[in-house]
Structure 1
Amino acid sequence: MKINFFFRNPKIGHSIHRVFRTLIVEISKSEKVQTHNVPNQGSMPLDVIINNIYSYKKRDKQAINHVTGHIHDVLMALQNTKTVLTIHDLVFLDNVKNPIKRFYKWLFWLKIPIKIADEVVCISNQTKESILKKMKTDKLTVIYNAIDPKFEQVLKPFNSAKPIVLHIGTGWNKNLDRTILALEGIPCHLRIIGKLNDNQLKLLNNHKIDFSNQYNLTDENIMVEYIKCDIVNFPSEYEGFGMPVIEGHKTGRVVVTSKIEPIIEVSANAVAYVDPSNIESIRLAYLKVIEDTDYRNSLIDLGIENAKRFSVETIAKQYLDLYQKLSEK
């Protein structure tokens, strides 16, 4: 069996590549694998045309052609082949206010791709339910993201006097502004991964937060950040999955995160939940995990157990079973 993976242009972001790179290593132990990155970054008509021409040339009628996410529209070039589409979230619809653009994306990123695909994978039940609210289909299967097996538990004494709070991501949904306000006056070091804008820098300085910042890290560098930290901070307002929760669990760190789906589904109550819209809720969670050793340790133990659900062996087997079923059709 051969699997032909199609990825978005890497310049858009590496998160999907990162998740599937872990899977591809495992899948390639038993199957033939080939990967392709589409040439254009955008989603306007010209980009769609160019990416579809590229995908048409790279398609393989003897293989399972798997579109890994974001470039859903290239399914149009893969008709009459065996196809799998992974949908990570519906942010491409949820964030669009212009009704014309919204219809365009609904049609070319959701309706048509799902109609063409033989199998559609959702990375959470939240994503599955969101799709079903927008269209009827019986093609949806939930398969979680896998955690890189390089992540492993590393014991570290918790620094209750001045914990390192690791915050990954500076985008609109990562809730850095409320994090800064919630940490004001709490002795800690805020370690921020992601490029800061001028407003975020001003907020950090105005509220006298002890912080450091870095971006464009390698996967190995990010693993080191988890090892060095005391608290993984992830009070997001919107997520398709929430991989930092699982990475924190696998490393053996206490996680503070939002009580929203799909994070509730992914975290399995092994975290300190917060209301991401409430600064006081976030602040109280920090104080609880810093001051209450038994509570903190219980969450860490639960998290280590929870991470086992997302092992690459488990997730790869689910994809392989799906490919096998499709190949036999």
Structure 2
Amino acid sequence: MNRIFKMKIIYFFRHPKIGHSIHRVFRTLVNELEKTSEINIYEMPYLGSMPNDLLNNNIYTFKKRDTKAIHHVTGHIHDVLLALFGVKTVLTIHDLVFLDNVKNPIKRCYKWLFWLYLPVKIADKVVCISNETKQNILNKIKADNLTVIHNAVDPIFTYSPKNFNEEKPIILHIGTGWNKNLNMTIEALADINCHLRIIGKLNEIQLNLLEKFKVEYSCILNLTDEEIRQEYINCDIVNFPSIYEGFGMPVIEGQQTGRVVVTSKIEPIVEVAGNAAAFVTPNNIISLKEAYIEIIKNPIYRENLVKDGLKNAKRFSIKNISKQYVELYQNLIKE
């Protein structure tokens, strides 16, 4: 029994300069599995996704193969599965934004082949972080090796009660990319007395909107995990009205902290948030504004959202999620 449980797992990550979001999601899982398994972690030496990068990253990956290990490609670098043919493999796919947002037909065909079709066919198991991602894959290719395991909420996020500031609530907005819907948020907050706390780099359009609609704000970036945790504790509302997401970690991080979460009524966010968030139509300014006003003026509504959010966040505990991964790995060893 101990021989089965004492697994060797090799995790492959994209180059850290591309971003730390995937590292951050898996760090929680790795820390838990290290208690019972032998873990090795490798990061890709090349950043890009063009043929030369693909070749060099695959050579690097091939050199790290171990016939006695499970090889888990954690996301983004799906193409390195080409170097893992013949060994036990798991691929995590977070979303298909790499296809959904590509207009050039040649690039789209290239990414469909090397980032989706071949990796999914080679992998023994493909983990989708939401049912929405799974369905999106199935809409594009046939596959019978897909399973859904959600991301785990980092244990550093714990319930931290706070008296809600009805006079001037702090609204925490995480991310300034095209999908985070900051522009619409700014316009919806016009004439609402609040402080908008933004994590991320602002562009010129966003700066102009903040000035135009006279929204009080502050902005910060390059935070440590502890500093991010403190931002959740300091705020009154977590704002996450995205127009596209593969999962939506700020939703459960906010719920676990004990904060009201405003987020979009789109998948997979509805799947993640449960019935424990103030849902909005992300492209509708009135919907956003009404949600903020209702939260600020209605304490019973706020209390119920916080209570339900804490219950919902339990689904994403590291104990629960790591158990699902252990079962996945052990079943793969037995095959």
TM-score (norm 2): 0.98
SS at match of 1:134: coil
Aligned ranges for residues 105-254 of structure 1 at < 5 Å? 105-254=111-260
User: In structure 2, what is the equivalent of residue 311 of structure 1?
Assistant: 317
- Paired with 1:136 and 1:247, the residues of 2 have a C-alpha distance of 34
Aligned ranges for residues 2-13 of structure 1 at < 5 Å? 2-13=8-19
SS at match of 1:35: strand
Letter in 2 for 1:167: H
User: In structure 2, what is the equivalent of residue 279 of structure 1?
Assistant: 285
Letter in 1 for 2:299: T
Structure 1 residue 247, shift from structure 2 partner: 0.2
Structure 1 residue 61, shift from structure 2 partner: 1.1
User: In structure 1, what is the equivalent of residue 330 of structure 2?
Assistant: 324
- Paired with 1:289 and 1:51, the residues of 2 have a C-alpha distance of 48
Could you list the structure 1 runs, at least 4 aligned residues long, displaced by more than 3 angstroms after superposition: none
Structure 1 residue 198, shift from structure 2 partner: 1.3
Letter in 1 for 2:73: V
1:289 aligns with 2:264: no
1:80 aligns with 2:78: no
Gaps of at least 5 residues in structure 1 are: none
C-alpha RMSD over aligned residues: 0.5
Letter in 1 for 2:295: V
- Paired with 1:321 and 1:92, the residues of 2 have a C-alpha distance of 29
TM-score (norm 1): 0.99
- Paired with 1:151 and 1:268, the residues of 2 have a C-alpha distance of 18
Structure 1 residue 178, shift from structure 2 partner: 0.3
SS at match of 2:263: strand
Offset from partner CA, 1:166-220 (integer Å, 9 cap, x none): 0000000000000000001100000000011111111111111100000010111
Query: Which of 69, 91, 97 is the equivalent residue of 1:91?
Result: 97
Query: Number of residue pairs matched?
Result: 329
SS at match of 2:139: helix
Offset from partner CA, 1:104-136 (integer Å, 9 cap, x none): 100000000001000000000000000000011
- Paired with 1:64 and 1:160, the residues of 2 have a C-alpha distance of 51
SS at match of 2:135: helix
Letter in 2 for 1:62: K
